[in-house]
Structure 1
Amino acid sequence: MNIPSFTSIQNQVGRKEYNSLPSPGLCLPFLGHYTIFLETTEPLKRVWNLYKKYSKKGLMLMTVLGQNMVIVGDFDTLKQLFNNPDVQNRGHGDYKKCQIAGKVSMERGTKLQPLGGIFLSQGKIWSEQRRLTVKTLKDFGFGKSSMEEIIQDEVKQFINYIKQFNPTEPREITGLFTLPILNSLWKITVGESFAYDNPKLEKIHEMLGEFVKNIVHISTFLEIMYPWIFDLFPNFLNRQSNIDIHKSLASMMRESIDQHRKTLDVNSPRDVIDTVLIEIEHTEDESSSFYKETGYANLVNTLIDLFMGGSETTSTTLTWAVLYMVREPQVQRKVQAELDAVVGSSRPPTLADRPKLPYTEAVMMEIQRCGNIVPFALYHMSSIPIEINGLSIPANTMICPCIAEIQKGNHWKDGMSFRPERFLDESGGIKPNELLIPFSIGKRRCPGETFAMMEFFLFFTNILQHFSFLPEVEGQVPTEEYFAGLTVIPKPFKSIIMPRT
């Protein structure tokens, strides 16, 4: 019996354990519900609609290419699952054969080391790498530069860049924020900053774009579940392309790491790389993910994770921000009025102003809710059988959070409308809502949340202090339709960027 047919039969037998979970329609051998994705050009929206129709007690079972997965669209259920220590793995198979998303598994001597970094690692590697990354980004302050100062420098460069535009000529907004966001992230992690036309910055941008595009390809899913496929067909589904991109990115990161090692002062870290190098210098535990060469390999993968996640998500959020300001001019004017009253025009908005700008904060929250840039966040894997809401989830099941349902479902009053006031109380202060989870939830929530929110606030407030965003054609606003990749990106649109007087 060949491996695919065995997997199919094994999957059908295993489904008996899932009988209490609702499932959408016919599940074919091996393919499972994969045909659902072939029937639509909007697979994410299709799964969300199926969830709304078939889910029970916040859960819906799907099977794709032999792998069972449970879609979770109820906040309390997701909170329980994603805080459960037995639902924290990524579930890769044979590390030695697996190069998920181009990430080559590491070996030290004869002892196999699993995939490194943050996003795709698990167990001790994940907990160690995440702990230091979160601490470093949260407590950022290297040399004489704080995180806010670095972002403000980038914002200033970006404002001056936009001022060169012809205010009567509509500008393409998609991609406008990518280079400045990438540049500030590069400065914080690597310690370098570039002009926007610098060939190195453009090369990094190009490679990350290709990497992000490829990582959501079906080949990534197949390699997670069935790495043996790529032993038989090494370049199946153009997988080699992603490995080549990763190697190029890794080479660039190693070059920066080597430069830092030559000039490292353990008493004066300059950036994220220095901080991790100091940890590697002090690590004597051979089982640690920071030990010697394993530490350097993990640093490479962690840096790529930060750039892949940090640059794409924040630039996409800012693109949605402009789209909604064009669609909702009265909201844009109200944000600008609050900025004028609190900040004025003689200085830039700072993080210290943030508590004094509740309407602006509410608008940012509504942009994150409606933009919903990650409608299905990164999956977790159950390592043991889980009982929840009276239903059973067996071990080795993918747990996939439906963030779209949680942030835009029927439990929100007029949830499909853009209404920032939903985040304000009667006195005009911020009214938090736990259902807003743009960075996911639980132990594996986005490690770069603090940095991302700083960037979002400083870029958003500064550009609205200086400019107004108008429709390309008066009376015709851009659509909320999108393209889905690693994030949900608005379909290309243009705006007139008018300097404020």
Structure 2
Amino acid sequence: MAAFTPLFICAVCALLLSAAFYVLKVFKQSALNLPPGPFHLPMVGNLHLLDIRRQDKSLMKISEKYGPVFTVHLGFQKVVVLTGYEAVNDALLNRADVFMDRPAIPIFYEIQHGNGVFFSSQEVWKTTRRFTVATMRDLGMGKRLGEEMMLEELHFLVELIKSFKGGPFRLRFLNTAPTNITFAILFGKRFDYDDPTFVTLLRLIDEVMHLLGSPFLHLFNFYPFLGFLLKPHKLILKKVDEVCVILKKRIEESKENVREKSLMSYIDALVLKQEQNQSNTLFHDANVLACALDLLMAGTETTSTTLQWAILLMTKYPEIQKKVHTEIERVLGPDCLPTFEDRKNMPFTNAVIHEVQRFVTLLPHVPRCTSVDTHFKGYFIPKGTTVIPLLTSVLLDKTQWETPDEFNPNHFLDADGNFVKKKAFLPFSTGRRNCIGESLATVELFIFFTGLMQKFTFKPPSGVKEAELNTTAEAGFTMRPHPQCTCAVLRH
């Protein structure tokens, strides 16, 4: 028994020391009035309380006990979570300067090193965002030119779907049209759907976005020092390098020709900005590449995935699809091409598109970081604290939506069937850091969805019932529909 005494004493001392540290930490937290949260374990933090693939749903569950502003520990990192429309909107819109920065998320820092538009902060973010918004406007996005480009692409997508002759095809084929709009902005031209570069980029984007949902990738983000043991982040970096080879080649071509022609693409604009501003060190080669990569990845994933969801939900709910068809026939008929202005006369179709975005909660959250010490909702949040504004909790907020967990277009209609804007509709976030491509995506979704519904009736494959279609999300960078098929039958 005596041989175990030193070990026993050490164990007791360690426990007492841990308890003392915990008491001191609780006392300090109480003194500073930091947001409350669940008890956290050493090293693990509160990860044992989370479904790693659907962290948003787990955080919403925790908020039921601790309120709309609370603290969780993700491994070693302390994170403040904001849930519900009131808290998220107040932080991102009314306190935008405070909650504007990004923390260094390990996988994205490995890819971008703090450059680009999406995951950068402070002056890099302000400059590249301002430049990107102005360039997209100069290239005609949001104007008639952009709409004409979408209608042209709609034609190619319709022909692709017709080629299946009413037989089943994978929802992923719907990615082709929205992706080509982004490529036209980025490269200055559209691609044929069987073009080797187009096919390669589409595959790489899909693989990267899928890997970003891997539990082991989340583990790398929580414990980056364990990277040597983990695989997904290495695969992501390898595939991103393959994408960058294609982008670098296009950037070099632009450098050779950009002085000889008018700007045709976002890459041309980046290169010209770099050459005109030799003294501006923000537009160095790494940032030019990072900006192009951001547009390529984020610009293709969000709209194309939302379009997949829209068609899947129409396949699952034929009675809603029928109402959309009726409205399209009344406003457009079988042959008149849709324009974005038509949405004003198509309240039900517009409501369906909005409800798709609300229901699928495509991008649950992207972390922010406090730029200064701040007091928020009665709590103290120190400078540099990672903050999660949980968009899922806004789009499913029970105080804002009658049936938040159901697909219900009536959320956006009044008693007379008129379209109603909802303040809690924030799929693109809000405030100074809202999605750059929001206006472009809004037009794309209306043109492509309405154009497809005008031409086709979507039905489940033979032997599959509507009720059997899977509308639970597969977690990647975005919430994607599970791989499955639909059939498109020509209406006229």
Band the TM-score falls in, shorter-chain normalisation: 0.7 to 0.9
Give how far 1:55 is off.
Answer: 3.0
Distance 2:45 2:130 in 1: 37
Equivalent AA in structure 1 for residue 127 of structure 2: E
Greater Rg by CA: 2
Secondary structure of the 2:336 match is: coil
Structure 2 distance, partners of 1:154, 1:11, is 60
**Worse-matched range after superposition: 488-497 or 469-478:** 469-478
Partner residue of 2:102? 90
Question: What is the deviation of 1:404?
Answer: 1.6
What does residue range 450-469 of structure 1 map to in structure 2 within 5 Å? Answer: 450-469=439-458
Aligned to 2:39: 26
1:194-248: CA deviations, max 9, x gaps? 2222221121112212322334456766776776x27xx6574453332222222
- Which of 373, 385, 389 does residue 401 from structure 1 map onto? 389
Distance 1:209 1:496, change over 3 A: closer
Report the CA distance between 1:484 and its aligned residue: 1.0
Query: Against the structure 1 CA distance between its residues 16 and 190, is the aligned structure 2 distance closer, same or farther, given a 3 Å change threshold?
Result: farther
Pairing 1:116-195 to 2, within 5 Å after superposition: 116-141=115-140, 146-167=145-166, 169-173=167-171, 175-195=172-192
CA contact 1:148–1:454 (8 Å) conserved in 2: yes
Deviations 1:86-128 (A, max 9, x none): 32222339xxxx77354253xxxxxxxxx21011111111011
Q: Judge conservation of contact 2:139–2:264 (CA < 8 Å) in 1.
A: no
Output the TM-score relative to the length of structure 2: 0.86
**1:220 and 1:87, CA in 2 relative to 1: closer, same or farther beyond 3 A?**
farther
Deviates more, 1:24-33 or 1:420-429: 420-429
Deviations 1:361-419 (A, max 9, x none): 111111111111122x1100113222111122222221112212211121121222222
CA shift, 1:302, in A, is 1.2
CA separation of 1:238 and 1:423: change in aligned 2, threshold 3 A: closer
Q: What pairs up with 1:4-153 in 2 under 5 angstroms?
A: 18-19=29-30, 20=33, 25-37=38-50, 42-51=54-63, 53-56=64-67, 58-82=68-92, 83-92=95-104, 100=108, 102-103=110-111, 105=113, 115-141=114-140, 146-153=145-152
Q: How far apart, CA to CA, are the structure 2 residues paired with 1:135 and 1:50? A: 41
Partner SS state of residue 387, structure 1? strand
Residue of 209, 213, 216 corresponding to 1:212: 209
SS in structure 2 opposite 1:421?
helix
Percent identical among aligned pairs is: 26
- 1:431 deviates by 1.2
Counterpart-to-counterpart distance in 1, 2:86 and 2:467: 40
Could you say which residue in structure 2 is the equivalent of 1:483?
Answer: 474
Q: Is contact 1:103–1:243 with CA below 8 Å preserved after alignment?
A: yes
1:468–1:498 contact (8 Å) kept in structure 2: yes
Structure 1 residue ranges without an equivalent (≥5): 1-8, 106-114
| In 2, Cα distance between equivalents of 1:99 and 1:322 | 32
Give the deviation of 1:192 after TM superposition. 2.9
Equivalent of 1:251 in 245, 252, 257: 245
Structure 1 Cα separation of the partners of residues 397 and 233 of structure 2: 36
- Report matched runs for 1:363-378 at 5 Å: 363-375=352-364, 377-378=365-366
Q: State how far apart, in whole Å, the 1-side matches of 2:207 and 2:307 are.
A: 20
CA shift, 1:468, in A, is: 0.7
Q: In structure 1, what residue type is equivalent to 2:381?
A: I
Q: What is the identity, as a one-letter code, of the residue corresponding to 2:446?
A: F
Q: 2:489 aligns with which of 488, 495, 498?
A: 498
Q: CA deviation at 1:438?
A: 0.6
Rate the CA distance shift 1:17–1:217 in 2: closer, same or farther, 3 A: farther
Of the three residues 296, 301, 319, the one matched with 1:312 is 301
Is 1:389 equivalent to 2:377 in the alignment? yes
The runs of 5 or more residues in structure 2 that have no matched partner are 1-19
Name the residue aligned to 1:241. 235
Q: What's 2:368 paired with?
A: 380
* Matching residue's letter, 1:465: Q
Higher helix share: 2
Tell me the SS of whatever aligns to 2:445: helix
CA separation in 2, counterparts of 1:488 and 1:338?
29
Cα-to-partner distance string for 1:438-482 (whole Å, 9 max, x where unaligned): 111222111111121121111100000000112333554513212
Pairwise CA RMSD:
2.9
1:311-350 pair list within 5 angstroms: 311-350=300-339
Structure 1 residue 436: Cα displacement = 0.6
Cα separation, 2, equivalents of 1:241 and 1:15:
40
Whether 1:200 and 2:197 are equivalent positions in the alignment is yes
Distance of 2:26 and 2:152 partners within structure 1? 55
Inter-partner Cα distance in structure 2 for 1:428 and 1:238: 48
SS of the aligned residue for 1:76 comes to: helix
Secondary structure of 2:173's aligned partner: coil
SS at match of 1:146: helix
Which residue number in structure 2 is paired with residue 5 of structure 1?
none
Give 1:424-435 correspondences, 5 Å limit.
Answer: 424-435=413-424
Aligned mates of 1:140, 1:236 — CA distance in 2: 42
Residues 100 and 330 of structure 1: CA distance in aligned 2, closer, same or farther (over 3 Å): closer
Cα distance in structure 2, aligned partners of 1:100 and 1:40: 18
Q: Is contact 2:82-2:390 (8 Å) kept?
A: yes
What does residue 437 of structure 1 align with?
A: 426
Instruction: Assess if the C-alpha contact under 8 Å between 2:112 and 2:290 holds in 1.
Output: no
Matched letter for residue 160 of structure 1: E
